């Protein structure tokens, strides 16, 4: 029988009523993998700043980043969000009225050196006449980041080697599969991890049944509906879950910041073994959140940065095992190694508590498309 819990937060982690939430502690392999996108975009921002200053400019507009059409990816706003933050760090103003614009594309590739799946990010800076003043490419790695960028649903054996895990990721790209059991969505029939999309009806949230569209889960959510995401963990270990919507982490607008980096303090939700927990919205602080609300794209958090031509939105949850910091890891955990959109709706009560955990490799990713 599935039991619900409250959520908690830790330094780098967070737990919510009935759940725990956490952040990845700096220095660990999962932290480095999760930060792959930011690391590469930080380097891109430095190059863009250098080019702009060579043109006697200190401002740029951040345009659209588009993914492969065949994957129906909507993660471009997440890329734009991180790039905007990194540009501000190097003293470049981001505004729509700038004479220069940065935009780009991202696609799935196999890295020739490592033979691992990667995202190739192509970035262009254009002047007001449309002339390209600089272009660059960055490679993005990491199971969690790739799952969010491409909206993947896949089970990843934790103790398998890189080659086997990469093969699973490739298969999920070329032959997508999802497993639906009534309102539950999982990566496979035997997976201990699942999610449900709940839509508010009256004064409560009710699970809405998904459909299988070409191997990808789809849940219809109408304009102006509030929704929530329930994480289900039936494994014998705590689970550290990341939640991204259109590539944007649920903590992107959090007021709780890391003092050293200025970035949101939290990255993960901790779900105890054998329990479930529900996230009602974008984390603001440890007492409240802004509800997930489907609204016109121009009013969404993503559109604070750019418009998107994506036909659907994507909700992605990735699951990894978690255990008390410094405690014994699970036996099968490998050693450390290297259209419409969701708007910020009304405030909702969401109490969180901090906890400390170590996090393992990604074991499953589950993605859901919404609002065609």
The H or E element that residue 327 is part of is none
Confidence label for 340 from pLDDT (cuts 50, 70 and 90)? low
Confirm if 20 and 366 have CB atoms less than 8 A apart. no
SS3 track for 185-219:
EECCCCCCEEEEEEEEECCEEEECCCEEECCEEEE
pLDDT at 345 over 60: yes
> Residue 326's pLDDT is what?
80
pLDDT at 24 over 70: no
pLDDT tens figures, 52-70: 999 999 999 999 999 998 8
pLDDT at 29 over 90: no
Q: In this structure, is the dihedral angle defined by the CA atoms of residues 287, 277, 76 and 108, taken in order, positive or negative?
A: positive
Confirm if 361 and 320 have CB atoms less than 8 A apart. yes
> Residue 353's pLDDT is what?
66
Confidence label for 267 from pLDDT (cuts 50, 70 and 90)? confident
3-class state of residue 31 by DSSP: helix
Q: Which residues have a Cβ under 8 Å from the Cβ of 269 and sit 6 or more positions away?
A: 7, 14, 15, 16, 19, 20, 21, 22, 231, 240, 241, 242, 243, 250, 277, 279
pLDDT tens figures, 299-336: 555 445 434 555 578 999 999 998 887 888 888 888 75
> Residue 8's pLDDT is what?
42
* 244 vs 342: CA distance, rounded Å: 11
pTM of the model: 0.85
Confidence label for 180 from pLDDT (cuts 50, 70 and 90)? very high
Output the average pLDDT for the chain: 84
> Residue 56's pLDDT is what?
96
Q: Which residues have a Cβ under 8 Å from the Cβ of 329 and sit 6 or more positions away?
A: 321, 323, 358, 360
Confidence label for 10 from pLDDT (cuts 50, 70 and 90)? very low
Confidence label for 297 from pLDDT (cuts 50, 70 and 90)? low
pLDDT tens figures, 90-123: 999 999 899 999 999 999 998 888 888 999 999 9
Confirm if 238 and 322 have CB atoms less than 8 A apart. yes
| CA distance from start to end of the chain | 34
Residue whose entry in the numeric block shows the structure tokens 């999802």:
178
State percent of the chain over pLDDT 90. Answer: 53
Q: Report the pLDDT averaged over residues 182-189.
A: 96
Q: Report the pLDDT averaged over residues 202-218.
A: 95
* Residue 320 CB-density burial (10 A; 0-12 exposed, 13-18 middle, 19+ buried): buried
Report the DSSP pairing between strands 211-213 and 216-219. Answer: antiparallel
Scanning the chain, the segments in alpha helix (DSSP H) are 29-34, 36-54, 76-89, 143-150, 162-174
Q: Which residues have a Cβ under 8 Å from the Cβ of 291 and sit 6 or more positions away?
A: 226, 280, 281, 344, 345, 346, 347, 348
């Amino acid at each position: 029988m599935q039991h619900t819990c409250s959520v908690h937060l830790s330094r780098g982690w967070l737990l919510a009523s009935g759940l725990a939430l956490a952040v990845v502690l700096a220095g660990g392999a999962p932290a480095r993998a999760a930060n792959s996108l930011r690391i590469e975009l930080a380097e891109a921002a430095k190059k863009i700043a250098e080019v702009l200053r060579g043109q006697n400019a200190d401002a740029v507009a951040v345009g659209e980043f588009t993914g492969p059409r065949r994957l129906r990816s909507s993660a471009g706003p997440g890329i734009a969000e991180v790039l905007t933050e990194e540009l501000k760090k190097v003293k470049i103003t981001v505004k729509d009225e700038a004479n220069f614009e940065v935009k780009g594309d991202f696609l799935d590739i196999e890295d020739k050196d490592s033979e691992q799946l990667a995202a190739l990010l192509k970035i262009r800076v254009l002047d007001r006449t449309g002339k390209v003043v600089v272009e660059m490419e960055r490679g993005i790695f990491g199971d969690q980041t790739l799952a969010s960028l491409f909206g993947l649903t896949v089970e990843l054996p934790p103790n398998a080697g890189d080659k086997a895990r990469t093969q699973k990721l490739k298969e999920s790209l070329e032959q997508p599969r999802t497993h639906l059991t009534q309102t539950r969505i999982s990566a496979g029939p035997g997976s201990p991890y699942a999610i449900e999309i709940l839509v508010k009806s009256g004064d409560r949230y009710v699970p809405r049944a998904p459909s299988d569209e070409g191997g990808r889960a789809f849940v219809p959510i109408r304009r102006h509906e509030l929704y929530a995401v329930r994480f289900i963990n039936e494994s014998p270990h705590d689970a550290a879950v990341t939640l991204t919507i259109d590539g944007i982490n649920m903590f992107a607008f959090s007021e709780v910041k890391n003092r050293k980096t200025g970035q949101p303090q939290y990255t993960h939700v901790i779900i105890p073994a054998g329990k479930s927990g529900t996230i009602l919205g974008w984390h603001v602080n440890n007492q409240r959140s802004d509800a997930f609300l489907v609204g016109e794209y121009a009013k969404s958090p993503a559109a604070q940065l750019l418009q998107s031509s994506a036909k659907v939105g994507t909700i992605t949850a990735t699951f990894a095992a978690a255990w008390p910091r410094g405690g014994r890891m699970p036996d099968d955990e490998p050693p450390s190694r290297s259209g419409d959109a969701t708007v910020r709706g009304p405030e909702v009560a969401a109490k969180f508590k901090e906890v400390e955990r170590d996090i393992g490799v990604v074991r499953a990713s589950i993605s859901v498309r919404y609002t065609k």
